[in-house]
Amino acid sequence: MSTNRRRMRIASVVAGIGIVAVLAAGCSRGGGTPNSTDDGGGEASPGITDTSITLGITTPLSGPTAGPGTCTVAGITAYFGAKNADGGVEFGDGKTRTVEIEALDDEYDPQKAKANYDQLKSSVFAMTAGLGTPTNRAWREAAIADEVPQVLIMTGDPIFSNTEESPWQLGFVPIYQNEGEAFGKLLAESSEDHKVAILSQNDDYGEGYVEGFKSGIEGADNIEIVKELTYEATDTSVDAQLTELAGSGADVFFNAMSITPLVISSLQKSQELGWLPSWFLPSNTSSPSAILEPGGATAFPGVYTVAFAQSAAAPTFAESEEGAAFLSELKEYADYPDTPAFPHCVWSYQIGATLEQVFAKMSEPTREEFMKQLRTISGYTAPLMLEGSSVDTTVDGQPAVSTVQVQKYNGKGYAPAESWDQ
């Protein structure tokens, strides 16, 4: 199968067919040749014409992280599918454009992510929404050298939100340190003593969560870290680590893990060992239906995570106007008929809404103008955000969303955890 045909097949599976067009390489804007605007306003960047703009995504659409990865494409496809059906998105230069998506599967493999970027960079205006720290890092330097926007991506790695180090990048989700710190602070406010065991991914993802957690408990006399281990993202089992951690006597387990099957097996192994601590899970691996239910999470005294967006799996979600519209658009325009088990579908929908805010400010069809306006969004409440959370791209060192709320699993979904002792 040719590369172009494979891309069309992968993208159409995720994005659906019809209103959101998926372009194969070699169409009118291919080859990196800038387009000229018909009003004499100068050359446009690749991937944009007077009538359309094309966005690229490299993300895991197969393999262990395909569940959340597929959502990174589905939500943004649904958002712009609805906009395209209404005629398109109005830009700051007075033109209305349809938004087209090209999505390639990287299987959460950094080398494949870099190859995908190389394939897309000359035909898309910007890269966005893709999931993963190692996969996004794999082509960050290339994007800087090529001056291709790599923005509103789903990694909490703080380097992507550092303007000096990453001038063409901006993360969307809270940095890992923010998530870890929020949980650490909640635990530190407990009136009881706690022993903590830590298992983290041996990369920037895991290190960021642990760094934030330790910052959150700094100065707390009631918290003791009794055991700290790591695992590799390529591991197929962490049973040995779980067995060692179970012997630590910890009553709290901080599990900075990004691989869905490993989180499920960890929950199951812990029960098999008779070790039932309270858990902390990152926001991207805390799905009630896809992870906690098969993992038997109700066996534990508490499972905690953090959030900034509403959960599509919440019982009342579909009853709200925004929730109903989201689910309808997801089915119609992204060919995603089920209620999303992962938050990434909502996140990428919010990314679409944030991009529309940027497009509305763009007075020129260039990547430089896009990056300039991207960093001017402040106090924007994107659809489906939790109260108190908003998009702010103006703070250097922080992603578009930096506020999170700690939540506790209640057997069906999550509820706000206002305190540890509840």
- pLDDT-derived band at 3, boundaries 50, 70, 90: very low
Over residues 287-304, mean pLDDT: 94
Half-sphere exposure in the Cβ direction for 47 (13 Å, CA): 21
Report pLDDT for 284: 85
Reply yes or no on whether the pLDDT at 97 is more than 90: yes
Give the DSSP letter string of 5-32: HHHHHHHHHHH-SSSS--PPTTSTTGGG
SS3 77: helix
| DSSP H or E stretch at residue 358 | helix 344-359
pLDDT tens digits, one per residue of 62-75: 998 999 999 999 99
User: CA of 312: how far to CAs of 322, 329, 351, 384, in Å?
Assistant: 11, 13, 16, 9
Reply yes or no on whether the pLDDT at 312 is more than 70: yes
Nearest Cα residue to 46 out of 28, 21, 58: 28
Both tokens of 207, joined, read 């290190």
pLDDT tens digits, one per residue of 47-64: 999 999 999 999 999 998
- pLDDT-derived band at 106, boundaries 50, 70, 90: very high
Decide: 89 and 97 in contact? Cβ < 8 Å.
Answer: yes
**d(Cα 344, Cα 14) in Å, to the nearest integer?**
14
Report pLDDT for 215: 97
Reply yes or no on whether the pLDDT at 6 is more than 70: no
Report pLDDT for 42: 55
Name the average pLDDT for the chain: 89
Reply yes or no on whether the pLDDT at 170 is more than 80: yes
Report pLDDT for 5: 33
More confident of the two residues 58 and 5? 58
| DSSP H or E stretch at residue 115 | helix 110-120
Decide: 204 and 157 in contact? Cβ < 8 Å.
Answer: yes
Q: Is the dihedral of CA 27, 29, 30, 35 positive or negative?
A: positive
**d(Cα 353, Cα 215) in Å, to the nearest integer?**
33
Largest Cα–Cα separation, the chain: 71
pLDDT tens digits, one per residue of 375-422: 999 999 999 999 989 999 999 999 999 988 999 998 888 888 878 764
Report pLDDT for 102: 98
Burial of 64 (0-12, 13-18, 19+ CB in 10 A): middle
Reply yes or no on whether the pLDDT at 24 is more than 80: no
- Cα end-to-end distance, the chain, whole Å: 57
- pLDDT-derived band at 14, boundaries 50, 70, 90: very low
Nearest Cα residue to 205 out of 175, 238, 245: 175
Report pLDDT for 22: 35
**d(Cα 55, Cα 21) in Å, to the nearest integer?**
11
Over residues 142-155, mean pLDDT: 98
More confident of the two residues 390 and 34? 390
User: CA of 390: how far to CAs of 129, 190, 399, in Å?
Assistant: 17, 28, 11
Over residues 220-229, mean pLDDT: 97
User: CA of 18: how far to CAs of 71, 85, 178, 328, in Å?
Assistant: 19, 10, 39, 16
Burial of 213 (0-12, 13-18, 19+ CB in 10 A): buried
| DSSP H or E stretch at residue 368 | helix 367-374
Over residues 224-232, mean pLDDT: 97
Residues facing 223 on adjacent strands: 194
Over residues 139-164, mean pLDDT: 96
Report pLDDT for 204: 87
Residue recorded with tokens 């589905």: 74
Question: Which range, 173-177, 312-316, 328-332, is most confident?
Answer: 328-332
Report pLDDT for 333: 98
Decide: 97 and 103 in contact? Cβ < 8 Å.
Answer: no
Nearest Cα residue to 152 out of 12, 305, 291, 355: 355
Least confident of 1-10, 52-61, 229-238: 1-10
- What percent of the residues of the chain are helix, what percent strand, and what percent coil, each to the nearest 5? 40, 20, 40
Report pLDDT for 421: 63
- pLDDT-derived band at 39, boundaries 50, 70, 90: very low
